[in-house]
Amino acid sequence: MIPRLLLVLALAALVAVLAGGCATGLPPGARPEPPSLVQQARLYTLSHEASKAETLLLDIRSQGLHSWLEFEPGLQRTLAYLRKKPKDRLAMSRNGPAVTWGQLAQSAEELLALLPSLDRQPWLLAERFTWFELKPAPRMTGYYTPEVRASLRKEPGYQYPIYTRPPDLRVGSSGVYRVAGDRALPYHTRAEIDLKGALANRGLEIAWARDPLDLYDLHLEGCGRLRLPDGSSREVVFQASNGRSFTALSTIVARKGLLGPGPPGKKEVRTFFDLHPSMLPGLLAENERYIFFRFSEDGAHGAHGMPLTPMISVATDPDLLPLGSMLILDAPLPGGNVRGLVLAQDTGSAIQGARLDFYGGVGREAGEFIQSINTRVGVFLLVSKQALSR
């Protein structure tokens, strides 16, 4: 008989983090912020003069946009999320101003109404909104939606399974586990799944990938687009993880000194395994974390439950910058600075305190763009002055 404690855990189990976004953790080579920086992160009120000076630096072309009106779809999704929250409850207060969900919703409404005027009058953002600067300057990394060559059935050339959530995976207060007899055990590792076939022949495969490194990218990012043999595509998103620790493949390669000192870049890793394919399964298995997926009709979702917008959506720590926050970003990125509006629409397990993750979009070009993002950035939270006066 299964002990009563296990029954309680099973009943209380979460449905494998179904609402999770795509920002599942730290990218290769990135390190978590020291606890001191996480604890010190705080929002400080910027003067009107300083806010107005910042508006003169805004350049939404750096985000690939031509008009402020192009922010409307993402803002509408943000507003839909905010309107579902209890308007009088605090969305934030611990590390900055006390702001309710209703005040954030009013701020989004005002910004939507202001969009038609901002192409010619960006300084209105300083007139209508209070700017709060995040200090210390947060570190920003990037994530994207990889495109993976795959088939919905196993066939020659497609042999690497993409699994859905196993029915014996349970999530409780003790973490992710499975029950064997009367014992709760940690869930299977990547080595047990990939090398020993722990999930094989159970009907859990939703697709089969062509390339194991593409499949690794899918696991790393937590969502992706499957490009099928007939040219059509299906979107898959994070459904659950095995709860095990994550180690980047680049870190594993670096530890073994296979590509010289320091963590290698993505291209160097791929070139190495193109030359040494037999080494890949064993080295991949040293990363114990495993991700399970489900199909989605409309692509990568953020933690707010709606599609992400390339070059606009960011993942934040909701205890500091809640979902639905409207932020001005000043970031030195590959190809030039990005200075424009971004929207807090996602979260991630490694996104804590003064940390952001910038969503780059879909496919190889987006992946190449975001892989070198790992820098300090300027971030300002916008809250309506009228909303704050109430």
Report d(CA 132, CA 43) in Å as an integer: 5
Flag whether 4 is in a domain: no
- In tens, the pLDDT along 95-133 reads 889 999 999 999 999 999 999 999 999 999 999 999 999
Print the SS3 string covering 171-213.
EECCEEEEEECCEEEECCCHHHHHHCCCCCCCCCEEEEECCHH
Cβ-contact 359, 314 below 8 angstroms: yes
* Domain limit, last residue, from 278, 296, 314: 296
Residue type, 244: R
Report d(CA 37, CA 369) in Å as an integer: 27
Report d(CA 252, CA 233) in Å as an integer: 32
Flag whether 53 is in a domain: yes
Report d(CA 224, CA 361) in Å as an integer: 10
Domain co-membership, 310 together with 187: no
Question: What pLDDT sits at residue 29?
Answer: 43
Flag whether 150 is in a domain: no
Neighbour count for residue 179 (Cβ, 10 Å)? 16
* Domain limit, last residue, from 296, 327, 356: 296
Neighbour count for residue 295 (Cβ, 10 Å)? 14
- Smallest CA-to-CA distance from 270 within 158, 161, 371 is with 371
Which residue blocks in the chain are alpha helix, DSSP H?
A: 4-12, 35-40, 48-55, 72-82, 101-118, 124-128, 190, 212-221, 249-255, 266-275, 280-284, 364-370, 385-388
**Which residues span the domain enclosing 63?**
35-142+306-388
Cβ-contact 168, 240 below 8 angstroms: no
Neighbour count for residue 106 (Cβ, 10 Å)? 20
Report d(CA 221, CA 211) in Å as an integer: 16
For 47, residues 6+ apart whose C-beta sits below 8 A from its C-beta are none
Flag whether 362 is in a domain: yes
Report d(CA 232, CA 307) in Å as an integer: 20
| Length in residues, the chain | 390
Flag whether 10 is in a domain: no
Report d(CA 322, CA 304) in Å as an integer: 10
Domain co-membership, 169 together with 284: yes
Domain co-membership, 138 together with 174: no
Domain co-membership, 68 together with 20: no
Domain co-membership, 71 together with 123: yes
Q: Please tell me the pTM assigned to this model.
A: 0.81
Q: Which CATH number characterizes residue 243's domain?
A: 2.40.240.50
* Domain limit, last residue, from 271, 296, 321: 296
Report d(CA 227, CA 215) in Å as an integer: 12
Question: What pLDDT sits at residue 200?
Answer: 95
Flag whether 373 is in a domain: yes
CA 181 to chain centre: 36
Domain co-membership, 52 together with 134: yes
Describe the strand order of the beta sheet including 223-227 as a list of residue ranges: 160-163, 205-209, 147-151, 223-227, 233-241, 291-296
Buried b (16+ CB within 10 A) or exposed e, 117-151: ebeeebbebbebbbbbbbeeebbbbbbbbbbbbbb
For 61, residues 6+ apart whose C-beta sits below 8 A from its C-beta are none
Cβ-contact 111, 382 below 8 angstroms: yes
Domain co-membership, 128 together with 241: no
Specify the 3-state DSSP secondary structure of 4. helix
Spans in the chain with pLDDT lower than 70: 1-21, 23-39, 262-263, 299
Flag whether 8 is in a domain: no
Q: Which CATH number characterizes residue 67's domain?
A: 2.40.40.10
For 324, residues 6+ apart whose C-beta sits below 8 A from its C-beta are 78, 81, 82, 85, 91, 101, 104, 105, 108, 304, 343, 344, 345
Domain co-membership, 71 together with 197: no
Question: What pLDDT sits at residue 24?
Answer: 55
CA 106 to chain centre: 26
**Domain count within the chain:** 2
Flag whether 182 is in a domain: yes
Q: What is the DSSP letter of 332?
A: E
Domain co-membership, 285 together with 243: yes
Domain co-membership, 55 together with 168: no
Report d(CA 145, CA 362) in Å as an integer: 5
Domain co-membership, 171 together with 22: yes
Cβ-contact 182, 3 below 8 angstroms: yes
Domain co-membership, 97 together with 182: no
